Amino acid sequence: MYIQNSYQADENRYSCGMQYNRCGKSGVLLPKVSLGFWHNFGSVDPFERSRAITHYAFDHGITHFDLANNYGPEYGSAEETLGRLMDMDFRPYRDELFISTKAGYDMWPGPYGEWGSRKYLMASIDQSLKRMHLDYVDLFYSHRFDPDTPMEETLQALVDIVRAGKALYIGISRWPLEALKFAYTYLKERDVPLLIFQDKLNRLDREPIDNGTLDFCHQNGIGFISFSPLAQGLLTDRYLNGIPKDSRMAQEKFLKHDMLTPELLSQLKTWNTEAEAEGKTLAAKSLSWILEQQGVTSVIVGASSTQQLAKNITF
């Protein structure tokens, strides 16, 4: 039976204003705004809402979707959502998409289900590809630094994943600067250059600037992509007048009430007033601030609605 593909991407998707930045000194261009699947794409989330967000993203030039093995909840279910979307909507557009996934955090029980061993990484990439209904990912990350596994073991597994054709490029997330330097050299010597470093960078958390990570990436031709660029929603108008029942903070899991101190709220209100005076939103100003930092390639935003995403690409 022939099932008609119901999604037709907007033909103006590459002429509606999305900017593409070169990722370090590589051949890859990434949209200045990328879409993250950490929240809102799990089995607990309404599929049609997740689907609408991805359509809106791609229709507006967002070609990069960022995933990880454990995004959900349940673990693995964000990748399964992507797999369904590939089958239903995005298969014809596979070569226009840049899809990343990661392994590093707890994924399955027992001693081989997390961190940085070859055993874990090799099993995880195979599981991810199966869930996403993909032959390869564009980018595979070590999701976190493992202090107990030799870096050579983790890095060689990443090299071998590329050599096996399961990923086109390698990235690293949340490694300390000295380990990042080691990884950069190790990978370069094996002709699998480090494409990108992923870390938290936003107006409230400037560590990669302060500790020299961003500068190291810039100086060495490694792209840099910021996660939680809106500080999980704090750097938007979401919490300026209380804590909405449907917000991430109301869930008290990853964003806790006590993070919203009176001092922070006052700072956010000041930034919001400044943004409004320029006719902009706090979210837009916050994303612009990151992208103005030398060496930043893209910001990975999250969104629980197309309306939020719309605001996050208008700047």
Coil/strand/helix, residue 100: strand
Smaller CB separation from ligand NAP, 186 or 197: 197
How far apart are CB 151 and ligand NAP at their closest, in Å?
Answer: 18
Identify whether the C-beta of residue 55 lies closer than 8 Å to the C-beta of residue 92.
Answer: no
Indicate whether 32 belongs to the interface with ligand NAP (CB under 6 A): no
Binders of ligand NAP in range 67-126 (CB under 6 A) = none
Q: Which stretch binds ligand NAP (CB under 6 A): 1-9, 33-41, 91-99, 258-266?
A: 33-41
Nearer to ligand NAP, 61 or 229 (CB): 229
Determine which residue in the list 31, 33, 39, 50 makes contact with ligand NAP, applying CB under 6 A: 39
For the four alpha carbons of 86, 66, 57 and 238, in that order, the dihedral sign comes to: positive
66 forms bridges with which residues in the sheet? 36, 100
Instruction: State which residue, 154 or 228, has the beta carbon closest to ligand NAP.
Output: 228
- Which of 24, 104 has the CB closer to ligand NAP? 104
Residue 300 makes contact with ligand NAP by CB under 6 A: yes
CA-based nearest residue to 10, from 62, 73, 46:
62
Write out the two tokens for 236: 């938007």
- Exactly one of 38, 58, 120, 184 binds ligand NAP (CB under 6 A); that residue is 38
- In sequence order, the β-bridge partners of residue 137 are 167
Give yes or no for residue 66 binding ligand NAP (CB under 6 A): yes
Q: What is the largest CA-CA distance in the chain?
A: 61
**Six-digit token pair at 222?**
């490694």
Q: Which of 248, 285, 296, 298 binds ligand NAP (CB under 6 A)?
A: 248
> Footprint of ligand NAP on residues 131-170 (CB under 6 A)?
143
- Number of chain residues interacting with ligand NAP (CB under 6 A): 30
Q: Is 174 in the site for ligand NAP (CB under 6 A)?
A: yes
Which of residues 137, 183, 283, 290 is near ligand NAP by CB under 6 A? Answer: 283
| Beta strands 98-103 and 223-227, pairing class | unpaired
Beta-ladder partners of 226: 199, 299
Binding of ligand NAP by 306 (CB under 6 A): no
Name residues contacting ligand NAP, limited to 210-239 (CB under 6 A).
227-233, 236, 238
Residue 66 belongs to what H/E stretch? strand 64-66
Helix spans in the chain (H): 47-59, 77-85, 118-132, 151-163, 177-189, 207-210, 213-219, 262-277, 282-291, 306-312
Q: Which residues bind ligand NAP (CB under 6 A)?
A: 36-40, 66, 143, 173-174, 198, 227-233, 236, 238, 247-248, 283, 300-304, 308, 311-312
